């Protein structure tokens, strides 16, 4: 027989853009998910767990003529299922569920979902291809009360997971208002959406203009009011001195857009006055303002003031599928970035109303609204503020002095566990005792238990306080150390009580 070819050893690595989570990272995330679930459930939302894999058809993000439909998602072909993909969010699976079980689910259907989603995007620092989302949505209610409820719940949730009032702001807006502004200046969606592309060349030209206006609006943060005014009109010189062509609107058209961008006032009432001016006679614009006013009124009546939730027309949200109210939660405190510079932490959650997602499946429009919390970003924020330690206390380690008395050591950990104390026996090679203490250190163990044959005969054990030892290493003086001896001999019978005492002291 031919000699087998030797296989090269496989690389012990995750695929690009994926990572592993250890110990406290997992615990802290699970604790946060449980707390979010508690608030969501309190609001009457029911859990739903769909699987990680969906048909590409149901996810519906792809062009029919693309051979390998993997733009932004992980997709592959299966013999018996056709093209399938990992879910890229929790909303697309919800739309599928709402359509699939429409005769069985209560209506409105309030559901929450939490779990990993996958994006086939270029990974970067802190940006991974698998991350957690935590969504709550109400399907089947067109009422602005449903939107208001989501916003109130979002504020409650942020406080429940440890973001105090004042450190966050939920900002709300309505997509229809921007539509109203465009309507007002003759570039409204009603006459120009995808279905009407079959129309005249003149209209196609207006779509171009409309898109140019939207791109200009996006530059407001960078170029300011006058800059936008120039870019909407004849154009302007940029910083490098190059001339940027304008969209070519006249003054009367540019005014409402600028009015919209600068509409945010001290009070919601004034903001609404400004917005009404910006949308003019547009029906869709008036609609959007009315919805936003209702949401604001409901929230105010429930005591959610502008210190928690405020109307802010600058909120747009990237996703194209939002059709009405949109919301965004932002953390308002500063953190220090990798380069030591202070910066705002920014957005940790967002959502809005999307009335067309279920329609894809059934042909019937189903109103829906919801929010998605970026759990990993929220955890990062709490860690940046020092509100999560990223560390957990390790177990009590019972060391092994005599290999043949393993049963004695197991009995000790058994007693400790029965009292609810994390505990383990050292299971490595017990020959080198120093290694056992090094191990206990690496485990962040608070207490090491030591019993040699001599101690066993005398019915005692040694307890070594490893937290105190660490404090000593960090600068506790010898005198302080002497007052609180880091190692004590106790009766074997008092093991649990004495360990508990030591844990309580730390």
Residues numbered 353-382 forming contacts with its own copies, rule: CB under 8 A: 360-363
CA 133 to mean position of chain CA atoms: 5
Cβ proximity to its own copies: between 54 and 465 the closer is 54
Residue 403 Cβ vs its own copies, minimum distance, rounded to whole Å: 9
CA distances for 124 relative to 6, 11, 120, 129, 248, angstroms:
36, 21, 12, 9, 38
Q: To which H or E segment does residue 351 belong?
A: strand 342-353
Judge whether 381 and 345 are in contact, CB under 8 Å. Answer: yes
Question: If binding means CB under 8 A, how many residues of this protein chain bind its own copies?
Answer: 105
Per CB under 8 A, which of residues 223..282 are in contact with its own copies? none
Residue 103 interacts with its own copies (CB under 8 A)? Answer: no
Stretch of 15-23, 166-174, 313-321, 373-381 lying at the interface with its own copies (CB under 8 A) = 15-23
Q: Should residue 306 be labelled a site residue for its own copies when binding is judged by CB under 8 A? A: no
Left (φ > 0), alpha (ψ -120 to 50) or beta: where does 480 sit? alpha
With CB under 8 A as the contact rule, which of the stretches 34-42, 239-247, 341-349, 470-478 interacts with its own copies? 34-42
Question: How many C-beta atoms lie closer than 10 Å to residue 254's C-beta?
Answer: 22
Q: Least Å distance between CB 146 and its own copies?
A: 5
For residue 219, give the nearest of 127, 316, 288 by alpha carbon.
Answer: 316
- 346 interacts with its own copies by CB under 8 A: no
Residues 447-466 touching its own copies, rule: CB under 8 A, are none
Residue from 73, 136, 146, 296 touching its own copies (CB under 8 A): that is: 146
Q: Binding string to its own copies for residues 377 to 406, with x set by CB under 8 A, is what? A: -----------------xx-x--------x
- Per CB under 8 A, contacts with its own copies among 81-100 are 81, 84, 86, 96-97, 99-100
Spatial CA neighbour of 96 closest among 482, 471, 362, 391: 362
Least distance in Å: CB of 114 to its own copies? 9
Stretch that binds its own copies, among 138-146, 235-243, 377-385, 468-476 (CB under 8 A): 138-146
Strand arrangement, sheet containing 53-55: 53-55, 82-86, 75-78
Q: Are 113 and 90 in contact (CB under 8 A)?
A: yes
With binding defined as CB under 8 A, does residue 76 bind its own copies?
A: yes
Interface with its own copies includes 14 (CB under 8 A)? Answer: yes
- Helices marked H in 101-250: 144-160, 175-184, 201-217, 220-232
Question: Please, which residue, 254 or 311, has the CB nearer to its own copies?
Answer: 311
Q: Interhelix angle for 201-217 vs 175-184, to 10°? A: 130
Q: Is 205 in the site for its own copies (CB under 8 A)?
A: no
DSSP 336: E
Of 69, 89, 108, 354, the residue at the interface with its own copies (CB under 8 A) is 108
Nearest to 175 by CA among 395, 416, 354: 354
Which residue from 32, 75, 381, 448 is in contact with its own copies, where contact means CB under 8 A?
75
Which of these segments, 52-60, 207-215, 329-337, 465-473, binds its own copies (CB under 8 A)? 52-60
Instruction: For 387, list phi and psi in degrees, rounded to 5.
Output: -90, -10
Q: Any contact of residue 55 with its own copies (CB under 8 A)? A: yes
């Amino acid at each position: 027989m031919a000699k087998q070819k030797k296989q090269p050893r496989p690389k012990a690595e995750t695929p690009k853009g994926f990572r592993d989570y250890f110990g406290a990272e997992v615990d802290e995330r699970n604790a946060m998910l449980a707390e979010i679930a508690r608030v969501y459930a309190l609001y009457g939302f029911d859990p739903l767990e769909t699987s990680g894999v969906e048909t590409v058809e149901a996810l519906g993000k792809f062009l029919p003529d693309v051979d390998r439909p993997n733009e932004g998602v992980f997709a592959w072909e299966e013999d018996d299922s056709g093209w399938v993909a990992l879910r890229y969010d929790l909303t697309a699976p919800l739309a599928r569920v709402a359509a699939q079980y429409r005769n069985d689910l209560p209506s409105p259907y309030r559901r929450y979902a939490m779990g990993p989603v996958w994006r086939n995007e270029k990974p970067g620092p802190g940006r991974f291809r698998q991350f957690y989302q935590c969504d709550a949505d109400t399907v089947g209610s067109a009422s602005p009360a449903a939107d208001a409820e989501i916003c109130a719940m979002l504020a409650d949730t942020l406080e429940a997971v440890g973001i105090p009032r004042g450190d966050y702001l939920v900002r709300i807006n309505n997509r229809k208002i921007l539509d109203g502004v465009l309507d007002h200046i003759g570039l409204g969606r009603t006459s120009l959406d995808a279905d009407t592309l079959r129309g005249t060349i003149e209209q196609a030209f207006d779509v171009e203009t409309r898109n140019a206006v939207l791109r200009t609006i996006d530059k407001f943060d960078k170029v300011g009011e006058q800059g936008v005014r120039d870019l909407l009109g004849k154009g302007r010189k940029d910083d490098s001195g190059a001339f940027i062509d304008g969209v070519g609107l006249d003054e009367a058209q540019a005014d409402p857009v600028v009015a919209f961008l600068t509409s945010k006032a001290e009070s919601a009432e004034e903001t609404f006055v400004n917005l009404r001016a910006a949308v003019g006679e547009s029906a869709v614009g008036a609609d959007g303002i009315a919805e936003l006013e209702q949401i604001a009124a409901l929230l105010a009546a429930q005591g959610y003031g502008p210190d928690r939730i405020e109307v802010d027309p600058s909120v747009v949200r990237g996703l194209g599928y939002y059709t009405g109210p949109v919301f965004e939660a932002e953390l308002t405190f500063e953190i220090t970035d990798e380069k030591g510079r202070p910066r705002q932490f920014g957005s940790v959650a967002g959502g809005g109303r999307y009335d067309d997602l279920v329609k894809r499946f059934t042909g019937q429009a189903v109103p829906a609204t919801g929010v998605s919390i970026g759990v990993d970003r929220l955890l990062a924020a709490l860690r940046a503020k020092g509100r999560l330690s990223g560390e957990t206390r390790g177990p009590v380690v019972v060391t092994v002095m005599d290999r043949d008395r393993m049963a004695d050591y197991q009995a000790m950990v058994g007693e400790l566990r029965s009292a609810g104390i994390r505990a383990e026996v050292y299971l490595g090679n017990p020959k080198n005792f120093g290694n056992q203490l090094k191990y206990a250190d690496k485990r962040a163990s608070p207490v090491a238990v030591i019993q040699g044959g001599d101690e066993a005969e005398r019915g005692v054990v040694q307890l070594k306080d490893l937290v105190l030892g660490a404090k000593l290493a960090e600068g506790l003086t010898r005198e302080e150390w002497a007052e609180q001896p880091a190692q004590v001999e106790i009766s074997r019978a008092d093991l649990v009580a004495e360990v508990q005492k030591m844990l309580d002291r730390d």
